Amino acid sequence: MRKTNPKSQYLPFFLCSLLFISCSPGEPDTSPDRTYQNRLNNHTDWGIYRGHSSGIQYSELDQIHTGNVQSLKKVWEYHHGNPVGPGMYANPIVIDGLLYFTTPEVNAVALDAATGEELWVFRPDDYRNDERPFRGRNRGLTYWEDEKGDNKRILNFVKDRVYAIDALTGTLITSFGENGWIDLRKNLPQDPEQVDFEATTQGMVYKDMLIIGGRTPEGAPSTPGDVRGYNALTGEFKWIFHTIPQPGEFGYDTWEFEDDVSYGGTNPWGGLTVDEERGWVFFATGSPAPDFIYGGMRKGENLFANCVIALDASTGERIWHYQTLRHDIWDYDLPPAPILATVTRAGAARDIVVQLTKQGLTFVLDRETGEPVFPVVDLPVPASKVPGEEAWPTQPFPLKPPPLNRTTLREADLSNITPETREYVLEIFRQHETGPLYTPASMAGVITMPGHQGGAEWGGAAFDPATNVLFVNINEAPTIHSLVPLDIDTASASPLARGKALYNTSCTACHGVDKKGNPPLHPPLQNLQIGGDSIKSVLRYGRGMMPAFAQFTDRQLDDLIVYLQHNGGDPKENPAKTGTSNSSQAPRYANVAPFFVDQDGYPAIAPPWGTLNAVDLDKGEILWKVPLGEYPELVAKGIRNTGAKSFGGPVVTAGNLVFIAGTPDEKIRAFDTFSGQVLWEYQLPAGGYATPSVYQVAGKQYLVITAGGGGKNGTPHGDSVIAFALPD
């Protein structure tokens, strides 16, 4: 259903259709006196990422329900025409019969939400001078209009820019920012030329304030993960909240800063949510950089890393914060934005904030104060054995709800899907250390459960306000966390040795020590068959799951290429003993964090490897837990119901259905909210690593999913957007 130049032919007809739809019985009032947020939070559109400014991923529509979902059929499929990496993560937004989403090139596309017909495509590469097209992980777009219903625009977040696009024509609004865009390298406490920032999750608008967070590098050097506010009409910079406190700011004394270290990270890459009545914006931060399993250069509690934070959306002033993890050395980012739910009990309503974690812990906080709703206890955790590291001695553990996944790994927990698998993983298990949750990494290697892809992911959860129940997909996957000493003095080392040092600080977490790889997602980098210019292009611009390393200087890139192309022995020039240098600098270590997997790349823990969970947020109890997804290769061998890693979130509807995709079997499913039973499933043409959207046009309810494949499950790429509805 792709049209090459539909704007002049189709748009006039569409505008007439839109006028008819807006006046149809049962559709929301489109008069201009409605506030912006009320307009986008109406029950028939899906006007905001995750469906609502509160992030509850819920639809009041019930035309599709448990009694008829078996009849759900595909009604249209759109192909964007370029099935490349990294895939499509977009949760489409739908406003007034128009559906908007982003492609892997972060092109913004507008479709007729009822037919899938293409209306326009905005290509941001037309406005950049880069050597190659940018491709990035991107979760969609933001819509904004002013209080009078004018200035309708789509905000497209592309790497380190925000473009303003006319929502009806797809043309650039040149009065916004600098000739149509905001340069997100600016207005940070860092030289713009050194900034490496990527807006992977779109911003949120409160009234006329566009609020933006994003992704920054996890290695060294990095960029601060500060949150910023801009005027949504003009693009003018308004305020900033420093997630790494500056001198004189609250929280500065929770860090032991070193003079020679560039601090970054502590960023809300999972997005934001807004409480419109209070005028507050909420976000959740990740771990600090550099190095996610060694923090000897940033000792202390490290506020505002791993925090739930509420700010005044108009000014950026902090209202409250709650830290879920102190001094993160496990890459336990808080992946989704906080969920703003209202729990009703005995007729009384209580506003809460729900924060999901990679550890499988669920923090339920009072929205007004940030205090825990259920008891949270501070428990002692293991100390670090690594010189220079000071793991924080205690960590907070919520007593309710219980953990949504296993938090330790014993020999009895190892995979036994085949005798060969058991023997393979047992041998690896006995070669490494183990311990309870929050056991620090060591040079011998510690098996961490869950690993950095365990627990909840960026897809968040869906909350049903009618039943107080939260639905969340959970991964169960261990990681082996090791530290490798950096044993060279880079000041006097050769380019080869400097390249190895840079590799150790930036690349080992994915590609392993000595370029050996970290299968199944991260290939070995030994004996590369591509030239230096091609390597530099990949490093500078990224490819597929690999991010860009724009923060590297030309000299650093050249050094790294020397090491990547070196196929001889280990460079040993200018060795220096670990912990010694020309200054009082602490010892330095590189991190290595391969997944603990069996001989075929499946998690080394016994199934289930992925589950869908129903959690009663009133009582703090798990109501049910069922396996989510399968691996087709194992099903062919008769090994079923294993569950699988999933990436992308669920949505829940008033029809008592939970819709979710995200699994490597490339299916989208509908679950009964009360029993967890699968009532419907559909084989997608590629993995749907995104959150579905639910909306209504002209009285007809639709379900839509972007199916771009690729992603962390490594399935083939696709280019489909698929909508489902009941037969007429």
Radius of gyration of the chain (CA): 25
**Residue 76 confidence class, pLDDT cut points 50, 70, 90:** very high
**Tokens, residue 246:** 């500056």
Residue 353 and residue 308 in contact, taking contact as beta carbons nearer than 8 Å: yes
Q: Which residue has the tokens 């919520």?
A: 398
Over residues 381-409, the mean pLDDT reads 96
Using DSSP's 3-state secondary structure scheme, residue 73 falls into strand
pLDDT at 397 (0 to 100): 98
Other beta carbons within 10 Å of 12: 10
pLDDT per residue over 583-603, tens digit each? Answer: 345 567 878 888 999 999 999
pLDDT at residue 24, rounded to an integer: 36
d(CA 292, CA 482): 11
Strand ranges (E), 199-338: 204-206, 209-212, 227-231, 237-241, 264-265, 272-275, 280-284, 288-289, 307-312, 318-323
Degrees to nearest 5, angle at CA 441 with 440 and 442? 120
Closest residue by Cα to residue 560 from 602, 611, 515, 617: 515
pLDDT of residue 584: 42
Percent of the chain with pLDDT over 90: 72
pLDDT of residue 615: 98
State the pLDDT at residue 128: 87
In one-letter notation, the amino acid at residue 127 is Y
Containing H/E element for 110? strand 108-112
Q: Which two tokens stand for residue 405?
A: 């996944």
pLDDT tens-digit map of 334-363: 999 999 999 998 889 999 999 999 999 999
Q: What is the tens place of the pLDDT at every residue in 519-540?
A: 556 677 877 767 767 777 777 6
> Burial level of 574, CB count in 10 A (0-12/13-18/19+)?
middle
CA distance linking residue 137 with residue 139, whole number of Å: 7
* pLDDT tens digits along 478-525: 999 999 887 666 667 788 878 777 777 677 667 766 777 765 566 778
Cα 615 from chain centre = 22
Q: Where do we find the tokens 């205090």?
A: 371
Q: Is residue 28 pLDDT above 90, yes or no?
A: no
279 and 257 in contact (C-beta within 8 Å)? no
The answer to whether 103 and 109 have CB atoms below 8 angstroms apart is yes
Question: Positive or negative CA dihedral for 99, 100, 101, 103?
Answer: positive
Burial class (CB in 10 A: 0-12, 13-18, 19+), 93: buried
When the pLDDT of each residue in the chain is averaged and rounded to a whole number, the result is 89
b/e per residue 65-92 (b: at least 16 CB within 10 A): bbeebeebeebbebebeebbbbbbbbbb
401 upstream amide cis, omega within 30 of 0: yes
Give 577's pLDDT tier (boundaries 50, 70, 90): very low
Q: pLDDT tens digits for 211-254?
A: 999 999 887 778 999 999 999 999 999 999 999 999 999 999 99
CB count in 10 Å sphere of residue 615? 26
**At 49, phi and psi to the nearest 5?**
-50, 130
Cβ contact 267:216 at 8 Å: yes
The span from the CA of 446 to the CA of 594, in Å, is: 11
> Is 258 in contact with 587 (CB distance < 8 Å)?
no
Backbone dihedral region for residue 51 (phi beyond 0: left; psi -120 to 50: alpha; all else: beta): left
Separation of alpha carbons 204 and 693, rounded Å: 17
Nearest to 28 by CA among 16, 17, 40: 40
Measured CA to CA, the distance from residue 695 to residue 85 in angstroms comes to: 28
Helix-strand-coil split of the chain, %, nearest 5: 15, 30, 55
Across the chain, which distance is largest between two alpha carbons, in Å? Answer: 78
Residue 604 above 70 pLDDT? yes
Asked whether residue 713 carries a pLDDT value surpassing 60, the answer given is: yes
Peptide bond into 304 cis (omega under 30): yes
Entry pTM = 0.89
pLDDT exceeds cutoff 70 at 551:
no
Question: DSSP secondary structure string, 340-369?
Answer: EEEEEETTEEEEEEEEE-TTS-EEEEETTT
Give yes or no for residue 27 having a pLDDT over 90: no
Please check whether residue 249 is in contact with residue 242, taking contact to mean a CB–CB distance below 8 angstroms: yes
Residue type, 553: T
Give the three-class secondary structure for 102. Answer: strand
Comparing C-alpha atoms, which of 82, 80, 87 is closest to residue 711? 87
> Which residue type occupies 650?
P
DSSP lists the bridge partners of residue 299 as 256
Q: What's the pLDDT band for 30 if we cut at 50, 70, 90?
A: very low
Residue whose structure tokens are 């860090």: 255
Question: Is pLDDT at 319 greater than 50 in this prediction?
Answer: yes
Positive or negative: CA dihedral 482, 487, 492, 494: negative
SS3 296: coil
> Is 327:299 a contact under the CB 8 Å cutoff?
yes
State the average pLDDT over residues 649-654.
98
* 262 compared with 357, residue with greater pLDDT: 357
What span, in angstroms and rounded, lies between the C-alpha atoms of 461 and 338? Answer: 10
Containing 426, the helix (H) or strand (E) segment is: helix 419-429
What pLDDT is recorded for position 513? 66
pLDDT number for residue 573? 44
